[in-house]
Structure 1
Amino acid sequence: MLLIHRIPYPPNKGDKIRSYHLLKHLAQHYRVHLATFVDDTDDWQHVPRVQALCASSHFSPLNPKLARLRSLGALFADRSLSLDYYRDAALRQWTAAAVRSHRIERIVVFSSAMAQYAEPFPHARRVVDFCDVDSAKWAQYAEQKSWPMSALYAHEARQLLAYERKVARDTYAALFVSQPEADLFRQLAPESGHKIDFFNNGVDTDYFSASPAMLTPYAAGEQVVVFTGAMDYWPNVDAVSWFVTEVLPALRQRVPGLLFYIVGARPSAAVQALARHEGVSVTGTVPDVRPFIAFAQVAVAPLRIARGIQNKVLEAMSMATPVVASREALEGIDAVAGGEVILAEGAAAFVDSIASLLNDDAHRAAIGAAARARVEQRYSWSGNLARLEERIEC
């Protein structure tokens, strides 16, 4: 089997969790030949771990700044910027050689932009894990941004949707991260409706559990609300900026001394500036995100723009930390609002919900325990990835 991956490691980075577990699962059942990128110099240390799962592999370095500049040429050629961003001659050549030499008959592609590398092999059974409807994400960005960025994002939404529809038409199965994402794409690409399916993300419940050996990163007696995620990702930046300005001042009036921790790599300048607000701490990269989740009283996900399933929500649930989240952040997550997670719509609802949890230890513990039970029941990787195997083999 050939696996054409965007970036499948390390497994503790939010945007790479699904891709890593996909690779790990396939390696248990097939001889996997992997073609992928490395977009972060820190990730080269993980290459041997990934190579050990594969029969053969190719890793192309990807410089995000240069890739963004290169992709701008697509604006003048009516192409998707995403396709040019991930265009690489060495990866294309290695893929073609691997298909020929290993007589590959099954190809799994991770993300629509990588499907360009599978196009030359129509004889193979091709399955694409789109994850999210990426074109819809760009359309959301276009609605939120002002000109000229709104025009650029609208261009990408149109071009990428056209390519997503082509990919779906040409492959055996088009898979997504949740039922809502699959339903959305079925509306956008009705001609491929019979090929569209989904498999949910999972959680490593052994890894994301409150270990007795874990040490708290917080000072004694601190009451903490935490947000986790890649902090150069605009929806996360938007979420914490909104929370700090619209929610935190009123919340600290209700709960004096409350602290808001923003935990995640590569905080943008806008995120770093939030640390100037009273009660806000921006950590940047941390060696292990789990203690920050486990010892916080509440985890929040106030996302206003979101696609697919939010791993940050599932991980906090797995660690029995109560989650207060927007409707967008809970899309696709099978959990009982009010019993296993708390849905909050608007700033006042976030203030009331968080203050209520902080003032009721028993309620907080009950929500956390129910959330952990839901994850154990519904979000195992092995169970969810079985749907992928059905599509590869049927």
Structure 2
Amino acid sequence: MKILLITPRVPYPPYRGDKLKIFNLIKRLSRRHEIHLLCFAQTRQDLENLQHLRTYCRHIDHVKLPVWLSLLKCFAGLFTQIPLQVQYFKSRRMQNLIDLTCRQHHFDVIHTHLIRMAQYTAEKHRPVKVLDLTDAVSLYLQRFTARAKNPFVKLLLKIELRRMMRYERILEKFNACFVCSEPDREQLRITAPEAAIKLIPNGVDLEYFSPNGSLADPDPDKIIFTGNLSYYPNIDGILYFTGEIFPLIKNERPSAKLYIVGQSPPAKVRALASRDVIVTGFVEDIKQHYVSSAVAVSPIRFGAGTLNKIIEPLALGVPVVATSVGVEGLEVIQGEDILVADQPQAFARHVVRVMQEPALREKLRQGGMAVIRKQYDWDPIVARLEEIYHDLVRQKSGEEKPKALSAID
């Protein structure tokens, strides 16, 4: 098939959730299909990163979108009913590029990534068009609003939430929409009741995230937290962990050390650094940090979608302790594949148990690896996506044949 993939950011390097997913889709789809990629580029580095994708894409094009221009569009968007994150990526040049590309090529599928890009393809009648949401933005905003304490921030979030809940009706204009967990689908059944919403989970690259005997043995005192640290749920989660959970762990295991690993840590996260808290910033090889850890933690209190900070360490056999929000939508069994707790005392106790009990650690190691290999390997996930593509193309073809015959008559 010939597939046009439209995404708001250059999906390289694959170091953050949205880029990671699209990169893995492109990499695997390109083995059997012809991929054309259109995206925004904000920096010179983005333009250089595009070159790494030419191995997988027949054609790549971009529209420059500097941050200052996006912020100006958001300011103008304050006086509309359009969600700010949609306004941020609004571009006549991108619409023109997509229209031109569709005239020049006969695509079988247009795969639009994230709701902020739906504005460019919702009104197209041909070919098959799918919208890859990953998660329900309205669900994320609901939870963010409930957690926010600053009155001004809370007001802005409420306004954005109302706009997004109305805007999500745009899903009904696509042949299919994808989310990665059942809670996200349930939310979108409320805001877009006529939309065809299918589950396509986030996956793991098991070629990379695979245990290897040549790697170092884990440090029995090392706790790891990973994530994009410019993402507010991650900031909230690590501040919660260091403020309310880590001191309880230190009471029982004084030698414990916490490693905070991820790009773009803000000042409040960098300020956590101490003898027992190591803030690494961005690292090239996150696998090495995972496998050298006794336990990975995901103390996330709000958000949506499926978290890579959980499925990646599980794939490597690293035990994970998470909140119920963190494991939402994952097909894991508490006590068998992962440990779950929402109160600081219970969370801390789980972490200490993993560090001190070899039998529990091994049980979680085996359970976690098994469930990831069964449910979250990118190869079968992409195979399922291809099946959906083919079904939709056949349905579209069946709908158009009677129209063509009618025109001949």
Structure 2 length-normalised TM: 0.89
Deviations 1:314-350 (A, max 9, x none): 0000110000000000011111110110111210111
Shift in Å at residue 66 of structure 1?
4.6
- Counterpart CA distance in 2 for 1:241 and 1:40 is 30
Say whether the 8 Å CA contact 2:37–2:59 is kept in structure 1. Answer: yes
User: 1:298 corresponds to which residue?
Assistant: 295
2:145 to 127, 142, 146: 142
User: 2:194 corresponds to which residue?
Assistant: 191
Shift in Å at residue 117 of structure 1?
1.4
- Counterpart CA distance in 1 for 2:326 and 2:146 is 18
User: 1:246 corresponds to which residue?
Assistant: 244
- Residues 239 and 95 of structure 1: is their aligned pair in 2 closer, same or farther, counting only changes over 3 Å? same
User: 1:82 corresponds to which residue?
Assistant: 85
**For 1:297, what is the secondary structure of its paired residue?**
strand
**For 2:255, what is the secondary structure of its paired residue?**
coil
Percent of paired sites with the same residue: 29
Matches within 5 A, 1:200-211: 200-211=201-212
- Counterpart CA distance in 2 for 1:186 and 1:303 is 25
Shift in Å at residue 109 of structure 1?
0.6
Please list every run of 5 or more consecutive structure 1 residues that lacks an aligned counterpart in the other structure. none
**For 1:162, what is the secondary structure of its paired residue?**
helix
2:227 to 221, 226, 229: 229
User: 1:173 corresponds to which residue?
Assistant: 176
- Counterpart CA distance in 1 for 2:374 and 2:126 is 39
Deviations 1:128-176 (A, max 9, x none): 111100122122222222221112111211212222212x211111111
Shift in Å at residue 65 of structure 1?
5.5
Give the AA of the match of 1:262.
I
- Counterpart CA distance in 1 for 2:230 and 2:72 is 18
Shift in Å at residue 230 of structure 1?
0.6
1:161 aligns with 2:159: no
- Counterpart CA distance in 1 for 2:216 and 2:126 is 53
- Residues 208 and 64 of structure 1: is their aligned pair in 2 closer, same or farther, counting only changes over 3 Å? farther
- Counterpart CA distance in 2 for 1:382 and 1:9 is 19
- Counterpart CA distance in 2 for 1:302 and 1:172 is 36
Matches within 5 A, 1:124-135: 124-135=127-138
**For 1:223, what is the secondary structure of its paired residue?**
strand
Give the AA of the match of 1:202.
G
User: 2:39 corresponds to which residue?
Assistant: 36
- Counterpart CA distance in 2 for 1:381 and 1:254 is 39
Please list every run of 5 or more consecutive structure 2 residues that lacks an aligned counterpart in the other structure. 392-409
- Residues 134 and 40 of structure 1: is their aligned pair in 2 closer, same or farther, counting only changes over 3 Å? farther
Give the AA of the match of 2:299.
P
- Residues 224 and 61 of structure 1: is their aligned pair in 2 closer, same or farther, counting only changes over 3 Å? farther
**For 1:235, what is the secondary structure of its paired residue?**
helix
1:340 aligns with 2:337: yes
- Counterpart CA distance in 2 for 1:337 and 1:280 is 28
**For 2:78, what is the secondary structure of its paired residue?**
helix
Say whether the 8 Å CA contact 1:301–1:324 is kept in structure 2. Answer: yes
Say whether the 8 Å CA contact 1:4–1:117 is kept in structure 2. Answer: no
User: 1:116 corresponds to which residue?
Assistant: 119
Shift in Å at residue 64 of structure 1?
4.1
User: 2:102 corresponds to which residue?
Assistant: 99
- Residues 226 and 89 of structure 1: is their aligned pair in 2 closer, same or farther, counting only changes over 3 Å? same
Shift in Å at residue 196 of structure 1?
1.3
Structure 1 length-normalised TM: 0.93
**Higher mean Cα deviation, 117-126 or 321-330?**
117-126
Matches within 5 A, 1:40-55: 42-55=45-58
Give the AA of the match of 1:179.
E
Shift in Å at residue 282 of structure 1?
0.7
- Residues 250 and 43 of structure 1: is their aligned pair in 2 closer, same or farther, counting only changes over 3 Å? same
Say whether the 8 Å CA contact 2:144–2:303 is kept in structure 1. Answer: no
**Higher mean Cα deviation, 258-267 or 363-372?**
363-372
- Counterpart CA distance in 2 for 1:63 and 1:299 is 36
Give the AA of the match of 1:155.
I
- Counterpart CA distance in 1 for 2:243 and 2:116 is 36
1:18 to 21, 38, 55: 21
Say whether the 8 Å CA contact 1:33–1:98 is kept in structure 2. Answer: no
User: 1:270 corresponds to which residue?
Assistant: 268
Shift in Å at residue 42 of structure 1?
4.3
Say whether the 8 Å CA contact 1:14–1:312 is kept in structure 2. Answer: no
- Counterpart CA distance in 1 for 2:103 and 2:82 is 29
**For 1:329, what is the secondary structure of its paired residue?**
coil
Give the AA of the match of 1:225.
I
- Counterpart CA distance in 2 for 1:69 and 1:288 is 37
1:285 aligns with 2:289: no
Structure 1 stretches of 4+ with a deviation exceeding 6 A read none
Shift in Å at residue 101 of structure 1?
0.9
User: 2:402 corresponds to which residue?
Assistant: none
Say whether the 8 Å CA contact 1:82–1:160 is kept in structure 2. Answer: no
